[in-house]
A and B are shown apart, each in its own frame.
Chain A
């Protein structure tokens, strides 16, 4: 089916909320740094994962496991162990970024369906087809750096299913290659599983405003009524050339409701919603909107117009001041 709706689940409660409100599949992570949302108290132990799988499968939906960080030499067995557990539990697919781990999965669990994570940073059909030929991947999640015509070019030249991000927080989009946060903390998202480890984050109300710091480095200072954002280095405001501004990237959320008809026509297999770190309330609200939108576009793509109420609901949930179509809709290449 084209345009499957893939929703985030940071807990069993979120998983059930996503399924109940119309997700075709959910994605989750185990409770360690084998996935890129390794936050304390978040994610699934084996029993919870089994219960989540049961809940989804009973309702004809699927569960995907994000195993999308890069294994480290001294803890290689943690990642291979996670692949083994995924196979044993009967995950519908594992979302991998590391080629070594793909090789392990193919050799040891040939029946396990593999998706190439956005963290794999494959932006061309040559790269996607390489993973297909060597590891038999069934689907690739494209990094959010391509314009829609560039996405279409990938779709046309591969038989790998293509999944795109539809909604959620944006980052500087060097997925799988970002080392920014290790500048402050010595931990990069690709090996430690988070951009800003919570233990290194400080929030403080000061007379000048609400300050966020990462390991002592001032990231931002929000005025009284200013909307705050996640405390990541890429979204901080810094003084450059005597001016203080978002020197790397402004906190924004991707929202591609407007592009659904084009995505349907070019044969996009699935739309992914960001936010495993968000609450069941977020999952419920976003899933409802996207289910309604995808149903509407499948019914009649030509007359599809995103409802203003959908946009209002999504804007309320977004990080930062605004939402954007991201790279999908830029005139330059």
Chain B
């Protein structure tokens, strides 16, 4: 079982950071890793909407919008907010946990536009993991593959 715990001091520190840097870093990473893989799917329903991803235990929020050209930081009122712990987000990303399972057990919280939330969930499920892993630096991709196979 994946064992990750983050010291509470880290959360306090991260929570004091201004909005922009984490959201900017997130958008840049998403443009590099997710955007090309998304192009193989029907991603148009994501466009023109605002999103917030809250990593609860880290006190961290990524706020962004999706346009025709990709992800960009956006602090406006989100259409969809998804919250979970860092560990649960990692389990989801590595496909070791099913989002519905986490949702039923109240570890994953989705607020806002339900249809948009479902679209996001289904698009992420349909993403070919190899298309994403192939864009990671080799050591990171190896670590991710180990995590997914564990």
B partners with A: yes
Complex interface bits, A176-211 against B, C-beta within 8 A gives 1, otherwise 0: 000000000000000000000111011111000010
A319 within 8 A of partner (CB): yes
Total number of B residues with any Cβ neighbor in A under 8 Å:
31
Which of B95, B104, B119 meets A40, CB within 8 Å?
B119
The prevalent SS among residues of B at the interface is helix
In the assembled complex, the CB of B88 is this many whole angstroms from the nearest CB of chain A, namely 12
Q: Is the CB of B98 within 8 A of A10?
A: no
Bound-state CA distance A222–B119 (Å) is: 24
- Answer whether A316 and B101 are a contact pair too, CB < 8 Å, given A11-B126, A41-B119, A280-B125: yes
Interface stretch (choices A125-133, A152-160, A224-232): A224-232
* B residues less than 8 Å from A119 (CB atoms): none
A69 within 8 A of partner (CB): no
A40, A201, A202, A210: most-surrounded residue (chain B CB, <10 A): A40
Q: Is the CB of B125 within 8 A of A228?
A: no
In the assembled complex, the CB of A51 is this many whole angstroms from the nearest CB of chain B, namely 11
* A residues less than 8 Å from B16 (CB atoms): none
- Answer whether A13 and B98 are a contact pair too, CB < 8 Å, given A39-B118, A203-B111: no
B106 within 8 A of partner (CB): yes
Q: Is the CB of A279 within 8 A of B125?
A: yes
Bound-state CA distance A45–B104 (Å) is: 29
Q: Is the CB of B118 within 8 A of A285?
A: no
Q: Is the CB of B106 within 8 A of A222?
A: yes
B121 within 8 A of partner (CB): yes
In the assembled complex, the CB of B49 is this many whole angstroms from the nearest CB of chain A, namely 13
Which of A41, A45, A226 meets B123, CB within 8 Å?
A41
Bound-state CA distance A201–B110 (Å) is: 12
Q: Is the CB of B111 within 8 A of A198?
A: no
Q: Is the CB of A11 within 8 A of B103?
A: no
In the assembled complex, the CB of A243 is this many whole angstroms from the nearest CB of chain B, namely 24
* A residues less than 8 Å from B96 (CB atoms): 281
Bound-state CA distance A277–B115 (Å) is: 13
In the assembled complex, the CB of A140 is this many whole angstroms from the nearest CB of chain B, namely 29
Q: Is the CB of B110 within 8 A of A13?
A: no
Q: Is the CB of B100 within 8 A of A279?
A: yes
Q: Is the CB of A279 within 8 A of B104?
A: no
Chain A, Cβ-Cβ closest to B96: A281
Bound-state CA distance A225–B45 (Å) is: 33
Complex interface bits, A1-14 against B, C-beta within 8 A gives 1, otherwise 0: 00000000011111
Q: Is the CB of B104 within 8 A of A228?
A: yes
Complex interface bits, B120-133 against A, C-beta within 8 A gives 1, otherwise 0: 11110111110000
Q: Is the CB of B122 within 8 A of A39?
A: yes
- Answer whether A41 and B128 are a contact pair too, CB < 8 Å, given A205-B109, A285-B98: no
Q: Is the CB of A278 within 8 A of B118?
A: no
Q: Which 7 residue pairs across A and B have the least CB separation, nearest first?
A: A41-B122, A11-B126, A198-B115, A282-B98, A41-B119, A201-B114, A40-B119
**Further contacts, 20 of them, CB under 8 A, given A13-B127, A316-B101:** A10-B122, A11-B126, A39-B118, A41-B42, A41-B123, A42-B122, A42-B126, A197-B115, A198-B118, A198-B119, A199-B115, A205-B109, A228-B104, A278-B98, A278-B100, A279-B121, A279-B125, A280-B95, A281-B97, A319-B104
12 A-B residue pairs with CB within 8 Å? A39-B118, A40-B45, A40-B119, A197-B115, A210-B106, A210-B109, A226-B106, A227-B105, A281-B95, A281-B96, A281-B98, A282-B98
